[in-house]
Structure 1
Amino acid sequence: MATTTNKTAKEGKSLLGAVLFKYMPFWPLFIFSAIACLFAAWFYLRTTAPQYEINASIMLKEEKESRNEDVINSFNQVDGKKVVDNEIEILKSKALMMDVVKNLALYANFFESHDMVPKSAYTTSPIMLEAVNPDKLTVVPKVEFRYDAKDSLVVIGANKYPLNKPVATPWGEFRFRLNENQLSQPVKPLFFSLTTVRNAASGLLASFRTTAPSKLTTVITLKIKDTDPHRGEDILNELIAVYNKANLAEKNRLASSASDFIEQRLAVVEQELNDIEKRAQQYKATRGAVDISTQGQLFLKNITETDQKVADVSNQLSVLNEVEKYVKSKESGGDGGVVPSTVGLKDPTMSTLVTKLYDEELNYEKLKKTTGENNPVLTSIRDRINKMKPSILESIQTQRSSLEASKTNLQSTNNAYLGQLQSIPQKERELIDINRQQAIKSNLYAFLLQKKTESDLTLKSNLQDTRIVDRAQSTPEPVSPKGKLIYLVSLIFALALPAGIISGKEMLNRKVMYRHEIENLTNAPIIGEISLDKSKDPLVIQEGKRTFIAEQFRRMRTSIGYVGGSSGKKRILITSTLSGEGKSFVALNLAQSIALTDKKVVLVEFDLANPSLSKKLNVTYEIGASNYLWGEKEPEDIIKRTAINENLFFLPAGPLPENPTELLMSDRVKDLLKYLDDVFDVVVIDSAPASLLTDAYVLSPLCDLTLYVVKHKYTPKAFLERLDEDNSGNQLRNMRIVFNGIRSRGFTKNGYGYGYGYGYIHNTAYGKAKKK
């Protein structure tokens, strides 16, 4: 358990160390980024108006059946959750919000001029304006004004406008009036801006939200964000009022249409009843018929009841025809008019189906104004409508067949009674017929009159469908922008931005940057690391000179002592990937470092394609290694003592041959190296780059150690990726990597602990796994 805890603590420290190592050298960049981001956050907070959140909630009442249940049925036939969803969409409609904008004159916004950002003057402006025709407004960004309280005039430029009168301005016709919402006096100059009603409604809807807290309730929460809490409260309260007004108007329209339908039928029946009463009076006066026999009264009673039933059936058939006409007109895409009354139908199912169809059509038309054609809610309602219509038509056909059969039976029975009345005297029979018709019309008139009264009562007693649970109320403090959060985010961004730039730049760099990259790309061990020398002096190590780079060469010299044979005689080959990686620089200074240990060292310039050691030693020799390989000279003729150290000798390249590789493959190379072994302690060979010529692969088997120079930010990673693969065929003997030209990271100076310990040569444990 203790071991696990210690391991976790070490990993935490290692991770922290890796982060510090990677980014600490760039600390001025992080400081600058933090200052810039914090200033940007401060500027944003100063130039952004604070937003308050205003909340209100309403509850949809469960609609009960009205008094005239055959005319206006309940809405609770539809699923409750769907009703809430529909009302939410209606509340978010642009039509309602445009009404709010017009009612509150929100197309004109008043501000106080401040240095950074204008401040809302909804509660400080002494006046407000109303457009005579709000739908024809144009966008006006800024109109400065002042109010002359003494003369009750609004001064705009050189023009003065009175209050409470329509006045013509360059921006349209307006009416200025006192601001009922003024709570305090303005402290800065005032101005107002104008926008269109549509744009104002769109802006309010962008910050408006409606939600249902639970699927089990019919409560709807309304939220809006505004720079002025008082204006936000007025907007929500007005929205609720406009919503209730629209709902109440729709209910009144439905009740009024039903009442008009019954009234029309009532006028027709009343006229028919008057005609029958006049006929009865005239018949009694002309025929002297005052009373009828008991048998005639009995027949009259039976026939009257039968005729009343026939009339009832006929009335139901008439209603069914009206319903069928309404459904079919809707089915064909027509308007269909107002839903017909189902008064007189005995089957309550038909009334329910027609009401449900009308409700669905009503919801569909409402949502169609505010949502797209492919809205899921709209599609669901349309599917239910299409499924409902066939059911209604089928029910109509079934009831019609039943009613027509019933009517036939009743007429047959009535005909039987009429046959028996043939025995009654003609005068009495005619009087009975008149009385029968009078009774039927009287009953029908009484029935319609009762329904008319109920319908009128329903129209007068219509109430709002919603109850205000909480009136609009603003938060005491702004909800955005949140200062602490903005500063925190800006600080995080200030750290993330330079870190991302640094990491991205290093990730996109295809050159070798880190020591661990070398270890991941090749199996060859790194024997030394050489920092970048900015002095441009090819010889950085001298006797008595103790510099950081000189110590690096001494450390590499010590490491080389543990590689190779134990005889003390060593042949060291130095090569690289490309020209310019510093292999000749490494060869010269390594040879000088070994010579300082009182060992005789010879530096062989075997880069016969592009030799550079002679230039670094500032010497020129006409003869060299190529002359020996051609058989023109002996080793004693071409080996020269250097001026920098009595133990350091130099074997120049000589004239450049046309075929250097073939020349190095001759047996005279082995003889020369054997001779050098006999005379010198260490032989240091500078060869051509291994990726350009095969010279290094020819000479490496003849040497004890091969130093492969990799230069920081110069050697492409792609060459190191192929190094092990190339080395598997033509092996470089005892290959070791020298990481040369290491630069300091970030803004640190070159030196141990920054350019070295915290530099690119740091071997982090968080790199890729070493290549196998």
Structure 2
Amino acid sequence: MQMEFTRKFNKEQSSNLLSQAIFKFLPYWPLFIGLIILGAGSAWVYLRFTTPLYETTATLLIKDEKKGAVESKTIESLDQLSSKKIIENEMEVIQSASLIHDVINQLHLYAPIYKKAEFKKISAYSTAPVQVQIEAPDDIEPIENIQFKFNRHDSSVVIDDKIYPVNTWISTTFGRIKFELNVSGKKEDGGEYSFSLIKPKSVISSIKQRLKVTTSNKMTSILNLSFIDEEPKRGEAILNELLLVYNKANVQDKNILADNTLKFIDERLKSVEQDLKGIEGKIQNYKSQQNAVDIGPQGRLFLENVSNNDQKLSDINMQLAVLGQVERYVNSSNNAIGVVPSTLGVSDPTLSKLVEKLYASELEYETLKKTTGENSPTLIAVVDRIEKIKPSIINNIQSQRGSLLATRENLSATNGMYTSVLRAIPEKERELIEINREQGIKNGIYSFLLQKKEETALSYASTVTDSRVIDKAQSSDKPVSPKKKIVYLSSVMIALLLGMGLILGRESLSRKVMFRYEIENLSELPIIGEIGIEASNDPIVISEGKKTFVAEQFRKLRMSLNYIGINSKHKKILVTSSISGEGKSFIATNLALSLALTNKKVILLDFDLNNPSITSSLNVHNEKGITEFLMGESDIHEIIQQTEHNPNLHIISTGNLPSNPTELIMNGKAEELISYLDSSFDYIIIDTAPVMPVTDAYVLSQLCDATLYVVRHNFTPKVFVERLDANNKINSLNNLAIVFNGVTARGIGGSGYGYGYGYGYIYDDRNSRKKLSYPGS
């Protein structure tokens, strides 16, 4: 029954976590209010001195080969150099260091200008009267906070009392620079400005961190660009310039290929034209020498058939020549940019795309090499990309070359058949046919080159970008960071968490028992009462008609004795504790007085033969007492005294302190004394020594019906309570229950809830429960 009561009692006390939290932290509300005010003040200071950031967005439509966004067929047919884009690749291109580097140089972002404001400096990109341009941005030596002023009257800049004209290159200690008038800036005298010089690669890294490129969804080829910057106008300028540079690079790539193709065609046309002139002269000379020999019907038929075959052979030879040219470019490029070979005449579009990718990657490599180190992850990634493209091109060339050589062999065999037919034709006519055949081949090549030149010229003239800006850059009206609501809310949350941490650190991390639930977690024994601190420090807190808070707590403790089996037949109660100073004598004395107030005859025994204190508390003499009775020097009637506090309360003091109290208690006289008192009194309260120094309590507990074990708030070490259950199994204390003593008010000023739970449940013999509101809460 004892264990069942214990489990139910403790389980009910731990059920309401919310109540526990309120109980734990609410008493410290002034601390939380102070921390919240401090946190809100810190948040205000943070918002006051933190530069707000704005988000700029833009939208770009890309012509993707897997998605929509296909331009009109007319434009597409004219733009022979167009190559549809893969959206994922273009996302990387837009964020590439090479494009961002061009944006930085165009907008002079390597030399940001600031204006001095209260306690901080703010960006003056759009408001400064001038912009700073560096002649060699890639050679910049970083320098910060170069102060200058603008003179509106003569449009000059003053640095360290030196006057510099605008729109003119000047030599300074930090390089050759030029101050350009800012079209949108304020042309006002005075005003303290400053500029810094930053290496482009550092600016590239900063921009890439704040630039985000995403797609609307997987089914579209629309890119959403967003950029975070402290100045909205600068953010818009960066995004707009980035889109412009991207489109220019797209067109430039096409134009480079077109230029190389036209150059190749012109060179071939000159060569074929010279060959044709030579052949025409050869025909004229042959006819003159042979007296105007003409080709007969059989010769014309042969010439017609063989011309088609020769044209095919010519096309194949041209493709093989182009493949050889591309192969030499790939093998000799070594990541360095060169003259891109034309892929004119090659029927496989994959090769053209691979060559275009290789050129774009080499161009990016050349740009990055100027702005980043050799071990830069970005540069290494570009080199890896180039090394992956090259084998793909070589494999493609080898595959096409094998196919073309096989086709050429078949065509050559066909030509052999035609040649055998030619032997049947008269010799003079046959020679003329050979000359005309050669002329036909050259004419075919010439016509083909003229056609391709016209197509390339049209494509060059109608070159359009493979993207279109849907929405130009536009900045948000309100800053995206810091957000006031989130900052203030975070400051409040941090204040609350800090307050909780301080309280938990002070109370929960203490090695002493602070809370009732700590006792319940450490021991399975029931807690039948909580006793607070009496403000008067009077050891006697119980008297007739007294209704103080602590007096009511003792009355509730008295009531709780019924639930550990104390009644008219079982009335002997032992009071002990772990160590001295926990208030066991205080509990024993006032519990005895509380029982005496019920018109019950109560006797209090001061069995603490090591350090007695009850005698002085109740103002009784100590000439004879328990020691004298145990030694056989006095009888029972001589040692029983009546107290002046209540006629129903009697006391037996310790008497003179013995040298061997434990042996004295075990001599059998203690059983005789308690047996006699059991027949004469309604309640027997025994105050004994703490269990840690001596074993007196274990001996006397066997003579009693219940043992009250006193645990004092912020005094009793937790380890003693933790060992209580295990020790009690070895040296049993009869019918053991805990009284939580010294429970103080919690919180700032001691006006909050106490360290107990405030309420719990107790069980009677019929297992029905009654709500028990414990004091100290």
Instruction: Specify the alignment match of 1:760 in structure 2.
Output: 756
1:711 deviates by: 1.6
Counterpart residue number, 1:320: 320
Distance 1:135 1:672 in 2: 104
Structure 2 residue aligned with 1:405 = 410
Q: CA deviation at 1:50?
A: 2.6
Is the CA contact (8 Å cut-off) linking 1:622 and 1:655 kept in structure 2?
Answer: no
Match of 2:550 in 1: 549
Deviations 1:244-275 (A, max 9, x none): 11111111122222223333333332333333
Deviation digits for residues 50-96 of structure 1 (CA, Å, limit 9, x no counterpart):
322222112123478999989956534xxx6xx11211111122322
**Alignment equivalent of 1:414, drawn from 418, 430, 450:** 418
Match in the other structure for 2:737: 736
**Structure 2 contact 702–733 (Cα < 8 Å) conserved:** yes
- For 2:775, the equivalent position in structure 1 comes to none
The 10-residue stretch of structure 1 (643-652 or 383-392) with the greater mean CA deviation from structure 2? 383-392
State the Cα deviation string for residues 551-584 of structure 1 (Å, max 9, x = none). Answer: 3234423444676454378321012234432222
Q: Equivalents in 2 of 1:420, 1:355: separation in Å?
A: 46
Match of 2:47 among 42, 45, 48: 45
Distance 1:703 1:417 in 2: 138
Q: How does 1:556-575 map to 2 (within 5 A)?
A: 556-560=557-561, 564=565, 566-567=567-568, 570-575=571-576
Code of the residue aligned with 1:24 in structure 2: it is: L
3-state SS in 2 of match to 1:189: strand
Select 2:134's aligned residue among 128, 131, 134: 131
Q: Which amino acid aligns with 1:198?
A: K
CA distance in 1: counterparts of 2:380 and 2:740, whole angstroms: 66
Q: Does the CA contact (< 8 Å) of 2:80 and 2:455 recur in 1?
A: no
Identity percentage of aligned residues = 39
Residue type matched to 1:92 in 2?
Q
- DSSP-derived class of the 2:185 partner: coil
1:688 pairs with 2:689: yes
Answering whether residue 23 of structure 2 is matched by residue 21 of structure 1, we say yes
The 3-state SS of whatever aligns with 1:473 is: strand
Classify the secondary structure of the residue corresponding to 1:108: coil
1:674 & 1:374 partners in 2: Cα distance? 98
Query: Of 191, 195, 201, which aligns to 2:194?
Result: 191
Does the Cα contact within 8 Å between 2:625 and 2:656 map onto a contact in 1? yes
Contact 1:75 / 1:359 at 8 angstroms: preserved in 2?
A: no
For the Cα contact (< 8 Å) 2:240–2:473, is it kept in 1?
yes
1:259-274 correspondence runs (5 A): 259-274=262-277
Cα pair distance change 1:149/1:614, threshold 3 Å: same
Partners in 2 of 1:763 and 1:511 — Cα distance? 22
| Deviation of the 1:418 alpha carbon | 3.6
Check whether the contact 1:581–1:714 (CA below 8 A) recurs between aligned residues: yes
Gaps of 5+ in 2: 1-15, 64-69, 762-768, 770-777
Q: What CA deviation, in whole Å up to 9, does each residue of 1:698-755 have, x standing for no partner?
A: 32231122111122233355554554555456543333321101121111436xxx44
Give the stretch that moved more between structures: 187-196 or 136-145: 187-196
**How far apart, CA to CA, are the structure 2 residues paired with 1:388 and 1:664?**
105
SS in 2 for 1:154: strand
C-alpha spacing 1:528/1:188, structure 2 compared with 1 (3 Å)? farther
TM-score of the superposition, structure 1-length normalised? 0.82
Residue matched to 1:75: 83
Query: Is 1:57 aligned with 2:53?
Result: no
Counterpart-to-counterpart distance in 2, 1:333 and 1:627: 115
Q: 1-side partners of 2:734 and 2:83: how far apart?
A: 93
CA drift at 1:26: 0.9
Contact conserved, 2:622 with 2:653, CA < 8 A, in 1? no
Aligned to 1:203: 206
Q: Please, what TM-score do these two structures have when normalized by structure 2? A: 0.82
- Structure 1 residue 764: Cα displacement: 7.5
Separation in 1 of the partners of 2:590 and 2:521?
Answer: 28
Count of residues paired in the alignment = 731
Distance in 2 of aligned mates of 1:556 and 1:247: 90
Aligned to 1:299: 299
**Which 10-residue stretch deviates more, 439-448 or 33-42?**
439-448
* 1:6 corresponding residue in structure 2: none
Residues 131-280 of structure 1 aligned to structure 2 (within 5 Å): 131-182=134-185, 189-280=192-283
Aligned residue type for 2:571: K
Moved more, 15-24 or 169-178: 15-24
Residue type of the partner of 1:319?
Answer: Q
- By how many angstroms is 1:585 displaced? 2.6
* Compared CA separation, residues 387 and 633, structure 1 to 2 (3 A): farther
Equivalent in the alignment of 1:120: 123
SS at match of 1:551: helix
After superposition, the C-alpha distances for 1:532-567 in whole angstroms (9 at most, x for unaligned) are 346555444466765432332344234446764543
The alignment partner of 1:702 has SS state of coil
Summarize deviations over 1:29-50 as a string: whole Å, max 9, x none.
1111121111112111211223
Q: Does structure 1 retain, via aligned residues, the 8 Å contact 2:253–2:360?
A: no
Q: 1:195 to 1:482 in 2, by over 3 A?
A: same
Structure-2 change in CA distance of 1:188 and 1:535 (3 Å): farther
Q: What's the offset of the Cα at 1:391?
A: 6.3
Offset of 1:15 from its aligned partner?
7.9
Of residues 550-559 and 243-252 in structure 1, the stretch that sits farther from structure 2 once superposed is 550-559
Would the aligned equivalents of 2:710 and 2:741 in 1 still touch at CA under 8 Å? yes
Aligned-residue offset at 1:643: 7.2
> Which residue of the partner structure matches residue 355 of structure 1?
352
Gaps of 5+ in 1: 1-13
Deviation at 1:608, TM superposition (A): 4.5
Distance 2:590 2:47 in 1: 60
Contact 1:312–1:344, Cα closer than 8 Å, also in 2 = no
| Structure 1 residues 271 and 304, CA gap change in structure 2 (3 angstroms) | farther
Cα separation, 2, equivalents of 1:631 and 1:182: 111
Offset from partner CA, 1:203-244 (integer Å, 9 cap, x none): 333322222112222211211222222222211111111111
2: CA distance between counterparts of 1:145 and 1:46?
26
1:673 and 1:764 map into 2 onto residues whose CA distance is 34
